[in-house]
């Protein structure tokens, strides 16, 4: 693991900048202790963040923040691979078509085509950064050949929903191999500062001049969670690459840092959010010793792609043929619901995924990580089936952005899982997300290179660069997506309920405990199957909790950590409420959103939109007021004894 540069050579400290026009977040964030400057601030050090950072010209000063350590990101844990049209028999149009089918009517066709067209370029870029993809010829060293030859020699797997083999991978630990290489290179780059344990709390915006949007993003308020220093980062552009929100659910594959911070910061800064109800549940999370539902190791889709079969753990019969003609290779939502059904009927809490009929050497060669992990738990997958159950896995919706990563706020870009570019629609096609991280990240870098330096981005200087020559410059910043929209009502955030029992108290407010209850409620009420009653029940509880939080007396000796934890929890409650309201408003079943009370597609395809907080200030006065209440909590970082409780699962 490379040692990140902890100093910030690419940032210069400065006195506090007085041009901050718009305050978002609590008042204590105004108590900035230091101000730093960089050209591009990237919030998130996963694949989207590092692909952007490494593609920017070297003369730009780039700061990349990570909320915890550098490996605490979904990218590091990606197993299966990255989808791209590489095989000579495969076609971009086929990959687009498979993506649109999985997306169930909600993909933006233009954005989808633009991103998928760049698939093989994305893999070439990763190869040029020495990512050791698995090849057809075991003994072959990729480094010794040209990129085109390397591309042609890659071993491709097939995953659910893909019509052919098109997933490039590095063993069964693709994300780890990619991230190790990119982290090494980012930590060695003179223009890039990697800052782990730096949590962005809110974005800084000012009124935009001469642009189509009303606001411009000029930086972010950040806390160094090791020193507890508050830092203002001023920058020419900000890239949100902060990942998804899987950790709003009890069973999730994403690390603990993935609680939707970026989505909320963007919303507060003036961005629309889209399709928040579409949470993809991966069908096959490992179930092991799972009394508290905390198991989060994933059994990759590729296991089914290579012939793994799903069986009832009692009768040992296959069940997928009863659900879909594509059987084990049906799209994720179908497989996940089928497994949930079987689990509801079998009372065992899991089903079996069995690949033991394949030769042991084949299994060990293709799935070395999964084999080793399961073996360490006493499950020999060459001999035994694997107990699996669905787990929250991917946030299909997010911050409204186009395929170039542009958002509603000038100077603010979004790439990777935080963004809703229209690629995933109602359900993400397996292995398309790593692809999106690289393609959109590099596209953002390419635009910033032009805007900030008049130069070509670092890796796209050659004239035959396909990124610029084949990608139509039709990506304009448009507010009118091709799909129709419906607005998700948010008045509930302003509704008041009579609180008779104030169960929250400042003394025993514990973020970790509160988070556990929030996750359980989300899992029970907004899981694979939803209905109006359960969604409303959870929403009602969150509204009550928000009100209770706002009524908590200000503790005069509260330290910075407890102020922050209340701020974090309030934001999580708001985000959970937005998800629930989005799910309530979509009275149909589509893609990853399944309503028991509306089991079929009933509308013509429409994107659900949550309008920006800034455009709802009147309506959401209580939401804003609550933030102010928290702001009144006293900032006293000297007395902060506890570390932030959101500790990444990875270490």
Residues tagged active-site:
332
The residue range among 23-31, 102-110, 425-433, 487-495 that interacts with ligand FAD, by the rule CB under 6 A, is 425-433
Residue 608: CB minimum distance to ligand FAD, A? 20
| Per-position x/- string for 611-650, each x denoting binding to ligand FAD as judged by CB under 6 A, each - no binding | ----------------------------------------
Instruction: Work out which of 119, 283, 390, 416 binds ligand FAD, going by CB under 6 A.
Output: 416
Binding-site residue total for ligand FAD (CB under 6 A)?
Answer: 44
The residue range among 100-108, 349-357, 379-387, 426-434 that interacts with ligand FAD, by the rule CB under 6 A, is 426-434
The 3-class secondary structure across 325-385, one letter per residue, is CCHHHCCHHHHHHHHHHHHHHHCCCCEEEECCCCCHHHHHHHCHHHHHHHHHCCCCCCCCC
Helices (H) and strands (E) in the chain, counts: 18, 20
Q: Where do we find the tokens 């050949």? A: 145
What is the spatial distance between Cα 249 and Cα 358, in angstroms, rounded to a whole number?
Answer: 34
Residue 434: CB minimum distance to ligand FAD, A? 4
Instruction: Work out which of 158, 404, 410, 431 binds ligand FAD, going by CB under 6 A.
Output: 431
What is the spatial distance between Cα 87 and Cα 166, in angstroms, rounded to a whole number?
Answer: 7
Site for ligand FAD, residues 20 to 49, rule: CB under 6 A: 43-49
Instruction: Work out which of 241, 320, 334, 609 binds ligand FAD, going by CB under 6 A.
Output: 241
Residue 262 or 270: the one with the smaller Cβ distance to ligand FAD is 262
Instruction: Work out which of 25, 26, 57, 81 binds ligand FAD, going by CB under 6 A.
Output: 81
Q: Where do we find the tokens 């109602």? A: 426
> Inter-axis angle of helices 560-585 and 511-525, to 10 degrees?
10
Strand 398-400 relative to strand 419-420, pairing: parallel
Instruction: Work out which of 66, 170, 335, 400 binds ligand FAD, going by CB under 6 A.
Output: 66
What is the spatial distance between Cα 577 and Cα 195, in angstroms, rounded to a whole number?
Answer: 31
Instruction: Work out which of 4, 11, 61, 77 binds ligand FAD, going by CB under 6 A.
Output: 77
Residue 303 or 351: the one with the smaller Cβ distance to ligand FAD is 303
Instruction: Work out which of 29, 41, 78, 575 binds ligand FAD, going by CB under 6 A.
Output: 78
What is the spatial distance between Cα 352 and Cα 348, in angstroms, rounded to a whole number?
Answer: 11
Residue 225: CB minimum distance to ligand FAD, A? 9
The residue range among 67-75, 271-279, 370-378, 588-596 that interacts with ligand FAD, by the rule CB under 6 A, is 67-75
Site for ligand FAD, residues 250 to 269, rule: CB under 6 A: 253-254, 257-258, 261-262
What is the spatial distance between Cα 273 and Cα 276, in angstroms, rounded to a whole number?
Answer: 7
Site for ligand FAD, residues 374 to 403, rule: CB under 6 A: 394
Strand 215-224 relative to strand 12-14, pairing: unpaired
Q: Among residues 202, 363, 321, which one has the least CA distance to residue 270? A: 202
Q: Among residues 24, 151, 14, 39, which one has the least CA distance to residue 84? A: 151
Residues 39-68 as b/e (b if ≥16 CB within 10 A, e otherwise) read bbbbbbbbbbbbbbbbbbbeebbbbbbbbb
Residue 245: CB minimum distance to ligand FAD, A? 10
The residue range among 61-69, 130-138, 210-218, 479-487 that interacts with ligand FAD, by the rule CB under 6 A, is 61-69
Site for ligand FAD, residues 327 to 356, rule: CB under 6 A: none
Site for ligand FAD, residues 88 to 117, rule: CB under 6 A: none
Residue 280 or 589: the one with the smaller Cβ distance to ligand FAD is 280
DSSP-assigned states of every residue in 500-531: ------TTT--HHHHHHHHHHHHHHHSSSSB-
The residue range among 266-274, 324-332, 428-436, 598-606 that interacts with ligand FAD, by the rule CB under 6 A, is 428-436
Residue 430 or 578: the one with the smaller Cβ distance to ligand FAD is 430
Residue 162 or 311: the one with the smaller Cβ distance to ligand FAD is 162
Residue 36 or 589: the one with the smaller Cβ distance to ligand FAD is 36
What is the spatial distance between Cα 282 and Cα 594, in angstroms, rounded to a whole number?
Answer: 14
Beginning with the edge strand found earlier in the chain, give each strand of the sheet holding 419-420 in spatial order.
Answer: 419-420, 398-400, 273-274, 606-610, 484-487
| Per-position x/- string for 187-226, each x denoting binding to ligand FAD as judged by CB under 6 A, each - no binding | ------------xx--------------------------
Instruction: Work out which of 75, 446, 523, 614 binds ligand FAD, going by CB under 6 A.
Output: 75
The residue range among 64-72, 106-114, 366-374, 636-644 that interacts with ligand FAD, by the rule CB under 6 A, is 64-72
Give the length of the chain. Answer: 651
| CA dist list (Å): 649 to 68, 74, 258, 416, 646 | 10, 11, 11, 21, 9
The residue range among 140-148, 182-190, 415-423, 445-453 that interacts with ligand FAD, by the rule CB under 6 A, is 415-423
What is the spatial distance between Cα 58 and Cα 392, in angstroms, rounded to a whole number?
Answer: 38
Instruction: Work out which of 437, 515, 564, 620 binds ligand FAD, going by CB under 6 A.
Output: 437
Strand 273-274 relative to strand 351-354, pairing: unpaired
Asked if 85 is part of the footprint of ligand FAD (rule: CB under 6 A), the reply reads no
Strand 12-14 relative to strand 484-487, pairing: unpaired
Residue 293: CB minimum distance to ligand FAD, A? 16
Residue 330 or 415: the one with the smaller Cβ distance to ligand FAD is 415
The residue range among 122-130, 412-420, 527-535, 585-593 that interacts with ligand FAD, by the rule CB under 6 A, is 412-420
DSSP-assigned states of every residue in 7-66: S-TT-EEESPPTT--B--S-GGGG--SEEEEEEEEEE--SHHHHHHHHHS-TTS-EEEE-
- Dmax (CA) for the chain in angstroms is 71
| Per-position x/- string for 295-314, each x denoting binding to ligand FAD as judged by CB under 6 A, each - no binding | ---x----------------
Q: Where do we find the tokens 């893609």? A: 591
Q: Which residues bind ligand FAD (CB under 6 A)?
A: 43-49, 65-68, 72-75, 77-82, 174-175, 199-200, 241-243, 253-254, 257-258, 261-262, 298, 394, 416-418, 431-434, 437
């Amino acid at each position: 693991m490379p040692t990140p540069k902890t100093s910030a050579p690419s940032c210069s400290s400065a006195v506090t900048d007085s041009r901050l026009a718009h305050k978002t977040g609590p008042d204590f964030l105004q108590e900035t202790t230091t101000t730093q400057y960089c050209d591009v601030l990237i919030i998130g050090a996963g694949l989207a963040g590092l692909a952007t950072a490494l593609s920017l010209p070297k003369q730009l000063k780039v700061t990349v923040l990570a909320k915890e350590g550098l490996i605490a990101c979904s990218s590091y844990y990606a197993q299966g691979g990255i989808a791209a049209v590489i095989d000579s028999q495969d076609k971009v149009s086929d990959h687009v078509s498979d993506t649109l089918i999985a997306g169930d009517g909600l993909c933006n066709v233009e954005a989808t085509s633009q991103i998928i067209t760049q698939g093989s370029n994305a893999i070439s870029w990763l190869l040029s950064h020495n990512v050791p993809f698995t090849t057809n010829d075991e003994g072959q060293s990729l480094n010794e050949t040209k990129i085109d030859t390397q591309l042609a020699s890659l071993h491709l797997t097939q995953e659910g929903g893909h019509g052919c083999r098109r997933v490039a991978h590095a063993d069964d630990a693709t994300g780890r191999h990619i991230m190790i290489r990119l982290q090494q290179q980012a930590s060695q780059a003179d223009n890039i500062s990697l800052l782990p344990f730096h949590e962005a709390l809110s974005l800084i915006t000012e009124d935009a001049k001469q642009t189509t949007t009303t606001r411009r993003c000029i930086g972010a308020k950040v806390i160094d969670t090791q020193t507890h220093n508050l830092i203002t980062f001023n920058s020419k552009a900000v890239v949100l690459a902060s990942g998804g929100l899987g950790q709003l659910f009890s069973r999730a594959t994403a690390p603990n840092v993935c609680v939707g911070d970026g989505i909320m910061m963007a919303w507060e800064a003036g961005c629309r959010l889209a399709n928040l109800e579409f949470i993809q549940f991966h069908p096959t999370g490992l179930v092991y010793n799972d009394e508290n539902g905390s198991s989060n190791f994933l059994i990759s889709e590729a296991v089914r792609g290579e012939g793994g079969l799903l069986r009832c753990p009692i009768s040992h019969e296959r069940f997928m043929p009863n659900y879909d003609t594509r059987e084990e290779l049906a799209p994720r939502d179908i497989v996940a619901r089928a497994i949930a059904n079987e689990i509801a009927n079998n009372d065992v809490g899991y089903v079996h995924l069995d690949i033991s009929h394949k030769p042991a050497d084949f299994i060990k060669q293709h799935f070395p990580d999964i084999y080793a992990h399961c073996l360490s738990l006493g499950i020999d997958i060459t001999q035994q089936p694997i107990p699996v159950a669905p787990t929250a896995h991917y946030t299909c919706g997010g911050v409204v952005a186009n395929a170039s990563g542009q958002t509603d706020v000038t100077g603010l870009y979004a790439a990777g899982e935080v963004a809703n570019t229209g690629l995933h629609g109602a359900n993400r096609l397996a292995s398309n997300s790593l692809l999106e991280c690289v393609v959109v990240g590099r596209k953002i870098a390419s635009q910033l290179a032009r805007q900030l330096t008049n130069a070509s981005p670092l890796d796209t200087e050659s004239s035959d660069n396909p990124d610029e020559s084949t990608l139509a410059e039709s990506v304009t910043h448009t507010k009118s997506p091709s799909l129709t929209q419906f607005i998700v009502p948010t008045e509930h955030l302003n509704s008041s309920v009579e609180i008779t029992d104030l169960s929250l108290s400042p003394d025993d407010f514990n973020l970790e405990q509160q988070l556990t209850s929030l996750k359980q409620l989300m899992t029970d009420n907004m899981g694979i199957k939803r209905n109006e009653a359960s969604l409303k029940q959870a929403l009602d509880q969150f509204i009550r909790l928000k009100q209770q939080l706002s009524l908590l007396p200000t503790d005069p000796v509260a330290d910075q950590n407890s102020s922050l934890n209340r701020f974090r929890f309030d934001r999580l409650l708001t985000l959970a409420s937005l998800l629930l309201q989005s799910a309530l408003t979509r009275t149909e079943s589509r893609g990853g959103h399944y309503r028991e009370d509306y089991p079929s597609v009933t509308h013509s395809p429409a994107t659900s939109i949550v309008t920006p907080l800034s455009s709802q200030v009147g309506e959401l006065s209580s939401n804003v007021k609550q933030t102010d209440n928290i702001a009144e909590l006293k900032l006293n970082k000297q007395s902060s004894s506890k570390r932030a409780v959101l500790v990444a699962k990875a270490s």
